[in-house]
Amino acid sequence: MLSLLRERAEAPYLARVAFGSSGSDANDTAYKLVRYYNNLRGKPEKKKVISRLGAYHGVSYASGSLTGISAYHTAFDLPIEGVLHTSCPHYYRFARNGESEERFCDRMVADLASMIGHEGGDTIAAFIAEPVMGTGGVLIPPPDYYAKIQTLLNKHDILLIADEVITGFGRTGRWFGTRTLRLKPDIVNMAKGITSAYFPVSATAISDRIWKVLEDASPRTGAVMHGFTYCGHPVGSAVAMANIDIMEREGLVEKCAADGPYMLQLLRERLA
C-alpha cells in the first residue's frame, strides 16, 4: 500500500498505514489522529476540522459530521462541535452571474481563509477533502483550487486529509486522485478501491510529519490506543493483493486514462 502511494501518488513522505474495514472508520481514524497529534505536540486547542458543503466522508459519528450533506445529519445531532463546513467548489452550480471560473476559485479560497480567520488558525487542526467530490455530485474543482488551498493551509499549520475512498485506485485515470489533482496530503484515506469492494478493507496513511510526533512521544504516552478487531484481516489482505495484481496485470488504470477523455468528448458532443 505504501509503495503504491509513494510511487503512484508521488507522495514519498507517507510513512505508515493503519487498516480498517470501511471508509467511515478510515475517516474516523484520521479525525482521532489529528487530535492526538496536536495534543502530543502541545497544541490542545488545535482541534477543529473543516470539511465542505456537499462532501461525503461517511456516516459514523465523526465521519458523519464531516459529511457536508444535511440529510445525513437530520435527527442524529450532527455535526458534532468542532466540525465546520466551508463552500462547495462547484463552478457550474454556485458561480455568480458573470463570474469567471478563476474568480470563483478565488472566492472559494477566500471563504476558507475567512473561516480560518474567524475561528483562529491556532484552533484548526485539519481540512478534509475528496479530490473529486463523489456523492455530492462528482464535482471537479477549478484548476488552481487545491494549489491555492494548500498554500493557505501551510500558512496556518493545518493538515490536509485526502479522502480517496471514491477517487483511489484508478478512477481519475491515475492510481490516486491525489496525483491527478496534485495534492500534498498529510493523511490519505482509502477503502472501496483496495478490493474493488469485494471485501471490507480500508486504510489510513499518515505522513512522516505526523509519524515523527507519534514516535517521539511514545516513550512518554505509550502505544497509540486505536484499532479495530478486523484491522489487517488476512482474508482482506489476500483479496486486496489479488485485486491490485489484476489492476496492474490488465492495465486497468491505463485503460481508464485512455478511455476517460474519449467518453468525456462524446458526452460534451451530445450533452454540452
pLDDT tens, residue order, the chain (272 aa) = 889 999 989 999 999 999 999 999 999 999 999 999 999 999 999 999 999 999 999 999 999 999 999 999 999 999 999 999 999 999 999 999 999 999 999 999 999 999 999 999 999 999 999 999 999 999 999 999 999 999 999 999 999 999 999 999 999 999 999 999 999 999 999 999 999 999 999 999 999 999 999 999 999 999 999 999 999 999 999 999 999 999 999 999 999 999 999 999 999 999 98
* pLDDT score of 31: 98
> Which neighbouring-strand residues pair with 161?
128, 187
Q: What pTM does this model have? A: 0.96
The bridge status of strand 48-52 relative to strand 83-86 is: parallel
* pLDDT score of 251: 97
Contact 175, 203 (CB under 8 A): no
* pLDDT score of 272: 86
* pLDDT score of 2: 87
Sheet holding 124-129, edge to edge: 14-20, 202-207, 187-190, 159-163, 124-129, 48-52, 83-86
- H or E element at residue 201: none
Q: Three cell numbers at 159? A: 493538515
* Cα 256 to Cα 272: distance, rounded to the nearest angstrom: 22
Give the position of cell 478565488: 106
Q: Three cell numbers at 241? A: 493483493
* pLDDT score of 12: 94
* pLDDT score of 77: 96
The bridge status of strand 124-129 relative to strand 48-52 is: parallel
* Cα 191 to Cα 156: distance, rounded to the nearest angstrom: 29
Give the position of cell 474567524: 118
* pLDDT score of 1: 82
* Cα 194 to Cα 115: distance, rounded to the nearest angstrom: 34
Contact 184, 11 (CB under 8 A): yes
Q: What is the CATH number of domain 2-271?
A: 3.40.640.10
* Cα 187 to Cα 204: distance, rounded to the nearest angstrom: 7
95-131: string of b/e by CB count within 10 Å (b at 16+)?
A: beeeeeeeebbbebbeebbebbeeeeeeebbbbbbbb
* pLDDT score of 7: 92
